Amino acid sequence: MRPWLYRLISALFALLLLLQGGRALHVNKARTVENSFLPGAVWNDSEGSPIQAHGGQVQRMPIPDGNGGKTEVYVWVGENKTDGHLGNPVAVYTSEDLVHWTCRGDVLRPLDSVEQIDTDPYFQALYGSYGEEEKRNLFDCIGRDKVIERPKMLYNAKNDNYVIWFHSDGPTEKNSYSYDLGMAGLAVSDSPFGPFRFVGRYRLSECPEGQIDCYPSSKGEARDLNLFADEDGTAYIVYTSENNKTIYISRLNEDYTGLSGKEYGVDYLRIFPGAMREAPVLIKAEGRYYLMTSSTTGWGSNQARVWSADSIFGKWHSDGNPCAGKGRGVTFDTQSTTLFQAPNGQWIYGGDRWNGENLADSRYVWLPATFEDGKLSIQWQDEWHWD
């Protein structure tokens, strides 16, 4: 989508937001209850700096315990948007209680120049052995002027390592638009705190023969994406493809570093052709799979939509808008990015409230989520706590 079209759509959605009463959701009061969540308020880390983990994912995962073993904590991975739109480092935070977060730093860093690979010890250690062409290619993939968005992380028990997949984008020879390339980037590390080594960027599954491809001129695109690991360790990458018109779910290989195969219905599924959804979140709750998505309106919020299924590659049913109450028409002025469980089993929806004028000041909105009669439901709260 062209930048001017994004701006026009964002303006229209700002108007819709006003009509929906969404502005009433922009509260910035002080906590009245200790350790509560204040959706949309500035959220500082343990050092007193605003948390920079946008388009991210929260999950409980094993991390090194310092004695050669593992311990479990909550890990929040996301875009560090301190410097604005492009070339975002991937940041990681950890927490025990979901309210207080410790910054673990930028675990995947973008490059300022090709030369930096040789002059900066951080990059030298990761890519120093690269030839000239590989270095230029690396800069082309993770340079400061490229899109590094929606990073998600998985722990791979087989290899005892961590993988990050993210939306890797940039212009092409045909088009100077920053989102023309439409690829998924992969980075790997032995530690969730990095440094993650960028491995490559890829086009993913393609529309199979016999189905109507909504964007046949550009096969295998991947933009907004998420990751999901099932109870048996099988992992999936879920992403918007076909110029943001169709969501795909593709099974990952055992290393989580590529696709498991190319067989339709076995290795991947194409869902909601033409529905124009992005910001996918795939989870399993109470034995059922849920896929939450947004519409495609740039940094502007819009109406969420959920589908659910008994099995990942089974039949997906449309469950409509999961949001209830004030601001339901614009997902409480957020865009979906994560769904996870608190220690007491309480599900939590995490959304980004983007500030297109100042992306570094985009906020987080976390709200309680419930599953009743097989349906996801999210309700606005000015302030709440999970215990």
Write out the residues near ligand DGJ by the rule CB under 6 A. Answer: 6, 55, 149-150, 224, 278-279, 298-299, 335
Given the complex with ligand DGJ, which of 111 and 279 has the nearer CB atom?
279
Closest CB 373 distance from ligand DGJ, rounded Å: 29
Measure the CA–CA gap between 202 and 207, rounded to whole angstroms.
16
What's the angle, vertex CA 235, arms to CA 230 and CA 236, rounded to 5?
A: 110
Q: What DSSP letter does each residue of 54-74 carry, written as one string?
A: EEEEEEEEEEE-SSSSEEEEE
Closest CB 321 distance from ligand DGJ, rounded Å: 18
Given the complex with ligand DGJ, which of 150 and 152 has the nearer CB atom?
150
**Is the CA virtual torsion 139, 143, 148, 152 positive or negative?**
positive
Given the complex with ligand DGJ, which of 55 and 195 has the nearer CB atom?
55
Given the complex with ligand DGJ, which of 106 and 352 has the nearer CB atom?
352
Measure the CA–CA gap between 75 and 89, rounded to whole angstroms.
16
Closest CB 179 distance from ligand DGJ, rounded Å: 7
Q: In what order do the strands lie in the sheet with 183-189?
A: 147-156, 161-169, 183-189, 197-202
Given the complex with ligand DGJ, which of 206 and 224 has the nearer CB atom?
224
Closest CB 341 distance from ligand DGJ, rounded Å: 24
The encoded tokens of residue 189 equal: 């590390």
Measure the CA–CA gap between 191 and 236, rounded to whole angstroms.
21
Closest CB 325 distance from ligand DGJ, rounded Å: 24
Closest CB 93 distance from ligand DGJ, rounded Å: 19
The encoded tokens of residue 320 equal: 């409509």
Measure the CA–CA gap between 2 and 307, rounded to whole angstroms.
28
The encoded tokens of residue 233 equal: 């360790």
Comparing every residue's Cβ against ligand DGJ, the nearest one is 298
What are the percentages of helix, strand and coil residues in the chain, rounded to 5?
15, 40, 50
Closest CB 55 distance from ligand DGJ, rounded Å: 5
Given the complex with ligand DGJ, which of 201 and 251 has the nearer CB atom?
201
Given the complex with ligand DGJ, which of 3 and 216 has the nearer CB atom?
3
User: Under 8 Å CB-to-CB from 83, ≥6 apart: which residues?
Assistant: 360
Given the complex with ligand DGJ, which of 300 and 329 has the nearer CB atom?
300
Q: In what order do the strands lie in the sheet with 288-294?
A: 278-285, 288-294, 305-309, 317-320
Closest CB 64 distance from ligand DGJ, rounded Å: 30
Given the complex with ligand DGJ, which of 92 and 147 has the nearer CB atom?
147
Q: In what order do the strands lie in the sheet with 90-95?
A: 54-64, 70-79, 90-95, 102-108
Measure the CA–CA gap between 236 and 253, rounded to whole angstroms.
9
Closest CB 175 distance from ligand DGJ, rounded Å: 16
**DSSP summary character for residue 258:** S
